[in-house]
C-alpha cells in the first residue's frame, strides 16, 4: 500500500500500487522503496538516468531504500517525472535480474570467444 503525504498541508492519498511510500516535503519529494522489490544498484542506475532533471540523494535504512528527489530547476517534483523515474526503476531492476539469470551463458560465450584468440597459453 502506498501513501502520499504533503508535509506543508498534511493529507494522505492512498494509491493501489505497492512497495513504495511517497512523502512530499514542500516542493521536494521523499520516496521510500522496499528492498524486496528494488535493489540498491537498480536505484542508483535509475537516479543516474535522471541526473539531468533530478538531484536524488539515496540512503538505506533497515529494509528500505530512501530517495530524496529535488528538481534541478527548483520547481516542484512533477507527477510525470515521478512516474518516469518509477518506470526506470522497474526497467533497471529487470535488467539486473536478466543479467543475473543469463550470467552462465554469457561467461560460456566469452570463454569460447577468447579461447580462439591465442591470448591464453
Which domains, from first to last, does the chain contain?
Answer: 2-115 (3.30.1360)
Residue 5 has pLDDT above 90, yes or no: no
Greater pLDDT, 75 or 4? 75
CA distance 92 to 89: 5
Q: Which residues contact 20 (CB under 8 A, 6 or more apart)?
A: 2, 31, 32, 33, 34, 37, 86
Whole-number pLDDT of residue 88: 97
CA distance 20 to 76: 19
Q: Which of 15-19, 54-58, 96-100 has the lowest mean pLDDT?
A: 15-19
pLDDT in tens, 79-112: 899 999 999 999 999 999 999 999 999 999 998 8
pLDDT in tens, 40-49: 999 999 999 9
Amino acid at each position: 500500500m502506498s501513501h502520499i503525504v504533503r508535509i506543508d498541508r498534511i493529507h494522505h492519498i492512498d494509491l493501489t500500487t505497492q512497495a513504495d511510500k511517497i512523502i512530499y516535503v514542500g516542493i521536494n519529494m521523499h520516496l521510500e522503496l522496499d528492498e524486496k522489490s528494488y535493489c540498491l544498484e537498480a536505484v542508483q542506475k535509475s537516479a543516474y538516468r535522471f541526473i539531468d532533471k533530478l538531484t536524488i540523494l539515496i540512503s538505506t535504512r533497515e529494509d528500505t531504500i530512501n530517495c530524496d528527489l529535488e528538481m534541478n530547476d527548483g520547481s516542484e517534483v512533477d507527477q510525470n517525472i515521478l512516474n518516469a523515474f518509477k518506470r526506470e526503476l522497474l526497467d533497471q531492476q529487470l535488467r539486473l535480474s536478466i543479467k543475473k539469470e543469463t550470467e552462465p551463458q554469457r561467461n560460456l560465450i566469452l570463454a569460447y570467444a577468447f579461447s580462439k584468440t591465442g591470448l591464453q597459453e
